[in-house]
A and B are shown apart, each in its own frame.
Chain A
Amino acid sequence: MAEEKVMTPQVEEEAVEIGKNWKANPHKWTGDPNQPLLEVKNLRVSYHTYAGEVQSVRGVNFDVKHGEILAVIGESGCGKSVTARTIMSLIRHPGVVKEGSQILFEGKDVLSMSKKELSQYRGGDCGMIFQDALVALDPTMRVGKQIMENLRIHSKMTKKEAKEEAIRLLDVVGIPNAETRFRQYPFEFSGGMRQRAMIAMAVACQPKLVIADEPTTALDVTIQAQIMELLKRLRDEDGTSIILITHDFGVVAGFADKIVVMYAGQIVERGSRKEIFYNPQHPYTWALLGAVPRLDWENKQMLRTIRGTPPDLVAPPKGCPFARRCELCMNVCLEEMPPVKEFPGEGPENHGHSAMCWLYADDAPAEVREKAEALRVKGGEGHE
């Protein structure tokens, strides 16, 4: 059903056929399929600024399995991009990855890789699609050449082979006249085309994991849907795992297998797509879902906005980070970090649903629980 909806009518310039094969050669699995492809353990990242130490990521854990699509969702500034960059080991001064953080790719710690291993890992095992392709592509270099660079680093292709492969890739991501486009500069591309070129570049060497950092934020809705379709095909055909970062629930509907909800550098709720959409448990998730317009709202229901702003990450609150904006805030919320509560989902694919909130502590006052039931967002039909 979701697939039907995203195949929207196409804009003239972007009128392209999607659905050619990604593969130049079949994807080879290495390693144990039961072992997660990527494990992020206790990730903490800080930026040292004049204002003090900005604790951008404060203890994040998640894993991604082979062929899985994980969506990371949260407001601006909650640490999504920093998390993505750390997975690629791209944090630079003044950013610091804290002691004890681990990023395991096929069991190997990315953060302690040698330069040579990193060079293979980046672009070879793991590709990244950046938020804004206009600044992410080198403005002074032909698009084709930038894709070729990736191929030349990770394979023994000759210049000619790399060129042919780059043209094929441009064609696969749905750029018409790939041969001509190959020779053009990024500014000669439209926004959607640039994002496609960016994708071609990220997946050029058939990485096992692709991190897409808000790949469609700058694009209009039609093209947004096409790009998402393109990424989905990458998973369906090549079995590539994808981490999709977004601030928009509308984008992940019908796309993600698992969703983690981030707030102020922490994960406040996680679960399968179905659990998060149909059975959300955290007040922040309710607020986020309530802020998305939905098809099933017949009456002129008010679109809920979330009052207030996220906490200052230089001096994060010692209790629940959402407390200042939460309508259900209790005394304990201000004082202590909430415990993580597990929710058993139906069926094995819905396992692992959990939320970090005092609401589910055994001694939570009854009237707060009642109020919570009233606030709870029910049903995600409108989103899917």
Chain B
Amino acid sequence: MAKFVAKRFVYMIITLFLVFTATFFLLASIPGNALTMKIHKLPAQAQERIMQKYGYDKPAGERYLLTLKNVVTKGDFGESIAKSGDTLGSILQKRLPPTVRLNIQQMIVGVTLGLILGIIAAMKRAKAPDFIILIFCMFMTSVPSLVIALILQLTLTGPSGLLHLPIIGWPKGKDLWFGGWQFTILPTFAGALFYVAGYARTTKIAMLDSIYQECTTTARAIGMSETQVMLHHVVRNSFIPIVTFLPGTIAGMLSGSLFIERVFSVPGIGSYYVECITQRDVPMVLGFTVFYSAITIVSIFVSDVLYGIVDPRIKLVSGSSR
């Protein structure tokens, strides 16, 4: 196990290095950045001096080595060009809580709804509820969450909306982690629907797999009703594929919530990241890209570890869930 973790850690470092390098040179190859946009009206001499100050007079290779050195030794990706004073660390500190809360809420709502729909679809397979859920899932996976967010915003918010929810915004101060729910409902659901579809399908498939397992026949043979068989044996046996599916979706959701944060003006890292990209704020884009990659890689890693532990199947379940 330790060896497995160590090996994966090395891979992770290599991957992050490659992401860093690729992002750096891609950004460098695009003409112009936040700085040129800011100073293009100044006289040429002044422009040159400012470029010098930020180090943009040097060739890309040299800048790359310098940045790499700072990142490795100090974890420093550099200061924002567009908003002086902002660094990756300071932004994370300020803007991580809304993002984390949003994602946790999305996950709880999405996974729960997905599980319920999946179980219903499996129990009523090939009947009306199954088809309705199937169509719903297909719709949800094919329509981007951005569009869903906009639709929700149009129909449910404001004085003329069905629920009179606030259009945009996010709880602050003492409500940062808990409270101010009216602000969080729509962003949560807009992002959660993506989960619902994925989980409903995974759950249904896992359940159908276990429904035809021999042990369900045994359960029937001792006099259990269909519903009891479902709840006592089928759901339980579907549990493992569902658990291992979880970390993978976390990575997927991070990217999904970028636009949701933007649509609902959630002051999280997602909306900031989108802003950085539109402004071509090179150091920040670089920093956030590496940060997102790290989270994705860690999620996948966790999922692999889960699989590894689950491999003789029952051990993990006995140790962790009961």
Interface residues of A (CB under 8 A from B): 85, 88, 90, 115, 118-124, 127-128, 130, 132, 135-141, 149-150, 153-154, 185, 187, 201-202, 204
Chain A min CB distance to B69 (Å)? 52
Chain B min CB distance to A132 (Å)? 7
Q: Write out the residue numbers on chain B whose beta carbons fall within 8 Å of the beta carbon of A124.
A: 223
Show 24 A/B contacts (Cβ-Cβ < 8 Å), sorted by A.
Answer: A120-B223, A121-B223, A122-B220, A122-B222, A123-B221, A124-B223, A128-B218, A130-B221, A135-B214, A136-B214, A138-B219, A138-B233, A138-B237, A140-B237, A140-B240, A141-B232, A141-B233, A141-B236, A150-B223, A153-B224, A185-B314, A187-B312, A187-B313, A204-B222
Q: Write out the residue numbers on chain B whose beta carbons fall within 8 Å of the beta carbon of A149.
A: 219, 222, 224, 232
Q: Write out the residue numbers on chain A whose beta carbons fall within 8 Å of the beta carbon of B223.
A: 118-124, 150, 153-154
Q: Write out the residue numbers on chain B whose beta carbons fall within 8 Å of the beta carbon of A128.
A: 218, 221
Determine if A136 and B237 form an interchain contact, defined as CB atoms under 8 angstroms apart: no
In Å, the complex CA distance between A306 and B222 comes to: 38
Q: Write out the residue numbers on chain B whose beta carbons fall within 8 Å of the beta carbon of A140.
A: 236-237, 239-240, 313-314, 317
From 230 to 245 in chain B, residues with beta carbon under 8 angstroms from any chain A beta carbon are 232-233, 236-237, 239-240
Top 6 closest pairs, chain A to chain B, by CB = A123-B222, A123-B223, A135-B214, A150-B222, A122-B223, A138-B215
Q: Which residue of B lies closest to A84 (CB)?
A: B221
Interface size classification for chain B:
20 to 34
B318 within 8 A of A: yes
Determine if A139 and B215 form an interchain contact, defined as CB atoms under 8 angstroms apart: yes
Interface string of B63-100 (1 = CB under 8 A from A): 00000000000000000000000000000000000000
Q: Write out the residue numbers on chain A whose beta carbons fall within 8 Å of the beta carbon of B217.
A: 85, 90, 130, 136
Determine if B236 and A138 form an interchain contact, defined as CB atoms under 8 angstroms apart: yes
Other-chain contact of B221, A88, A120, A138 (Cβ < 8 Å): A88
Q: Write out the residue numbers on chain B whose beta carbons fall within 8 Å of the beta carbon of A85.
A: 217
Determine if A136 and B215 form an interchain contact, defined as CB atoms under 8 angstroms apart: yes
B155 within 8 A of A: no
Interface residues of B (CB under 8 A from A): 213-215, 217-225, 232-233, 236-237, 239-240, 312-314, 317-318
Determine if A115 and B215 form an interchain contact, defined as CB atoms under 8 angstroms apart: no
Q: Write out the residue numbers on chain B whose beta carbons fall within 8 Å of the beta carbon of A127.
A: 221-222
Q: Which residue of A lies closest to B234 (CB)?
A: A138
- A90-B220, A135-B215, A138-B215 known; 9 new pairs, CB 8 Å cut-off, are A85-B217, A120-B223, A128-B218, A132-B214, A136-B215, A138-B236, A140-B313, A153-B224, A187-B313
Q: Which residue of B lies closest to A151 (CB)?
A: B222
Determine if B221 and A139 form an interchain contact, defined as CB atoms under 8 angstroms apart: no
In Å, the complex CA distance between A141 and B224 comes to: 15
In Å, the complex CA distance between A127 and B222 comes to: 7
Q: Which residue of B lies closest to A128 (CB)?
A: B221
Q: Write out the residue numbers on chain A whose beta carbons fall within 8 Å of the beta carbon of B237.
A: 138-140
Q: Write out the residue numbers on chain B whose beta carbons fall within 8 Å of the beta carbon of A201.
A: 218, 222
Q: Write out the residue numbers on chain B whose beta carbons fall within 8 Å of the beta carbon of A115.
A: 225
> In this complex, which of A118, A140, A153, A202 has the most chain B Cβ atoms within 10 angstroms of its Cβ?
A140
Other-chain contact of B314, A122, A136, A187 (Cβ < 8 Å): A187
Q: Write out the residue numbers on chain A whose beta carbons fall within 8 Å of the beta carbon of B221.
A: 88, 90, 122-123, 127-128, 130, 202
> In this complex, which of B217, B218, B240, B318 has the most chain A Cβ atoms within 10 angstroms of its Cβ?
B218
In Å, the complex CA distance between A123 and B313 comes to: 28
Chain B min CB distance to A208 (Å)? 14
In Å, the complex CA distance between A149 and B215 comes to: 13
Other-chain contact of A130, B214, B233, B239, B318 (Cβ < 8 Å): B214
